Amino acid sequence: MAQVQTKSVLDPQRIRADFPIFERRIHDKPLIYLDNAATTQKPHQVIEALQDFYTQHNANVHRSVHTLGHEATVAYEAAHKKVARFINARSWREIIFTRNASESLNLVAYAWGLWNLQAGDEVLLTIMEHHSDLVPWFMLREHKQIVLKFVDVDDQGRLRLDQFKKMLSERTKLVGMIHASNVLGTVNPVRELVAEAQRVGAITLVDAAQSAPHLPLDVQELGCDFLAVSGHKMLGPVGTGFLYGRRELLETMAPFLRGGDMIETVTLEGATWNELPWKYEAGTPSVADGIALGTAVDYLTQLGMENVYQHERELLDYALPKFLDLPGVQVYGPHDSQDRVGVISFNVAGVHPHDLAGLLDEEGIAVRSGHHCAQPLMNRLGMDNTARASFYIYNSKDEIDKLIAGIRRAQRIFRV
C-alpha cells in the first residue's frame, strides 16, 4: 500500500451531488452520514441502473433465447467482469455473486470446509474477526470436531504477528483473516499472513468487507484463495456481495446451495454441476442488484481507489487529533492513520454510546453504537460497546467538525 502523503483529489461536495439521499433533512438538519461501515449510500447511477433493468431489460438469465433474456444475461455477466477487474482476478469466473460478505464466508465453510476438514484439523482465525467469520467455523467445530485457534491483538488493536506464526502448523488447514477491522479500522498485513499460511499448505480466506470499499485491492498480489466482500458497503444495492475464489479450488469443490441454474445435467441418480461461477449461484439470482453492483464498481473505478484511500486517510489525519484532544473521550485502536481505514470507535465517559447516537441523530448525524458484531474483540479490549464513526467518499472535514460539536453537546447535556 502506498504510504506517500498526497493531497486528496476527491471533492466531497461534488460527489455528494451524485447521492440523492443528501437532499433529505433529518430533524430539519442536513444529513451527515457517518455509518458507512454498516452500509454506504447509493449514487443516482446505481439507483438508475436498477430502474433501467426493470423498465428496459427485465428477464431471467441463462434460460431464454428472446431479446430480453439475452440482454439480461449479458449485463449480469458483464457485472461479474467489472468486479473481477476491480480486484484484479485472473478470470471473471472466479467471482460468485452472493447477498453479502456473510453469505460469501458461509459459502466457503459449507462448500469447502464441510467436505475437506476432518476431526482434529485446525482452522486459525483472528480475534478481530466479525461474527460472520467466526460462527460458520463454530458450526464445523460442532459438526466435524475441528479445532479453532484465535490469534490475539496487542492493546492498541494490532494483530500479534509473533503469535500468528507460532500458531501455524501442519495441522492448520485454513487461515481466516479480516483485512480491515470494522471496529478498529486496523488494516492487517494480509499479504504477509497469506504467505506464512501457504508455507504450511493452508487455504487462505480474507474477509475484505471493510477493505474492498476503501483501498486498492489485488487478489493476485495478496495471493489468497478466497476473498469475501459486501457489495452494499461499496455503493452497491443492499443484498449484494461477492466471493472471489481461486478457480482451481472452485472447480473441484462441492456446490453450496443446490437448485436451478447450478446444474449441468440431472438424472434421478445424481447431477453434474454447471460451469463457474454459476455452479455457486443456485436459483434465479438478484439480477438487477448484481448489474447495479457493476455500476457501483464503475463509479469507484472512475474515482480511483487510490484516491478513495487517500481521501479517507486525510479525513482520519484531520479527525484523530481532534478526538484525542477531547476530554473524557477514549479512542480505540491505533492513534495514527498508518495502515488504517476511516473507522473511529470511541466512548465518551458518562454517556452511553446509545444515548450519544440518539443525541447525534437530533443533529442529523448518523453514527453506529453497539458491539459491531465483533464481541470477542470487544471483550478482549475490555469494552461492552462503543460509538463508531466511519467515513466514505462524500464525507468532509466540515462534517467532522460538526461531529465533534455534537459530542461536546452530548457532554454538556449529561454534565460530564
Partner 1 sequence: MDELGMERLLDHYQDPRNYGHLDDPDIVYEEGNPSCGDQLRFELKLADNRISEVRFSGKGCAISQASASMLTERIKGQTLEEVKTIDKDEVLEMLGLEISPMRLKCALLPLKIVKAGVYGIKGWPGEDED
Residues that bind partner 1 (CB under 8 A): 351-355, 358, 361-362, 369-371, 375, 378, 384-385, 413-415
Q: Which is nearer to partner 1, 7 or 412 (CB)?
A: 412
Q: Which is nearer to partner 1, 122 or 363 (CB)?
A: 363
Q: How far is the CB of 370 from partner 1 (least distance, A)?
A: 5
- Rounded to an integer, what distance in angstroms lies between the CA atom of residue 272 and that of residue 251? 12
Which member of 257, 263, 373, 404 is catalytic?
A: 373
DSSP 304-320: -HHHHHHHHHHHHHHHH
DSSP 254-277: PPSS-STTSEEEEETTEEEEPSTT
Q: How far is the CB of 72 from partner 1 (least distance, A)?
A: 38
Angle, CA 292 vertex, CA 399 and CA 396 arms, to 5°: 10
Please list, in sequence order, all residues whose beta carbon lies within 8 angstroms of the beta carbon of residue 104, skipping any fewer than 6 positions away. 96, 98, 226, 228, 229, 241, 242, 243
DSSP class of residue 143? Answer: H
Q: Which is nearer to partner 1, 141 or 354 (CB)?
A: 354
Distances (CA, A) of 352 to 52, 225, 371, 411: 44, 41, 12, 11
Would you say the C-alpha torsion 370, 374, 375, 379 has a positive or negative sign? negative
Q: How far is the CB of 410 from partner 1 (least distance, A)?
A: 11
Whether 151 and 126 have beta carbons less than 8 Å apart is answered as yes
Please list, in sequence order, all residues whose beta carbon lies within 8 angstroms of the beta carbon of residue 91, skipping any fewer than 6 positions away. 84, 247
- Rounded to an integer, what distance in angstroms lies between the CA atom of residue 290 and that of residue 323? 38
Q: How far is the CB of 155 from partner 1 (least distance, A)?
A: 21
User: Is-catalytic flag, 373?
Assistant: yes
Q: Which is nearer to partner 1, 62 or 371 (CB)?
A: 371
Q: How far is the CB of 132 from partner 1 (least distance, A)?
A: 15
Whether 288 and 50 have beta carbons less than 8 Å apart is answered as yes
Q: Which is nearer to partner 1, 149 or 380 (CB)?
A: 380
Q: Which is nearer to partner 1, 13 or 379 (CB)?
A: 379
HSE-up (13 A, CA, CB side) for residue 367: 33
Peptide bond into 277 cis (omega under 30): yes
DSSP 15-73: HHTT-GGGG-EETTEE-EE-BTTT-----HHHHHHHHHIIIII---SSS--SHHHHHHH
- Rounded to an integer, what distance in angstroms lies between the CA atom of residue 337 and that of residue 320? 8
Q: Which is nearer to partner 1, 27 or 44 (CB)?
A: 27
Q: How far is the CB of 102 from partner 1 (least distance, A)?
A: 16
Q: How far is the CB of 362 from partner 1 (least distance, A)?
A: 8
- Rounded to an integer, what distance in angstroms lies between the CA atom of residue 34 and that of residue 112? 36
> Which residues are part of the catalytic machinery?
373
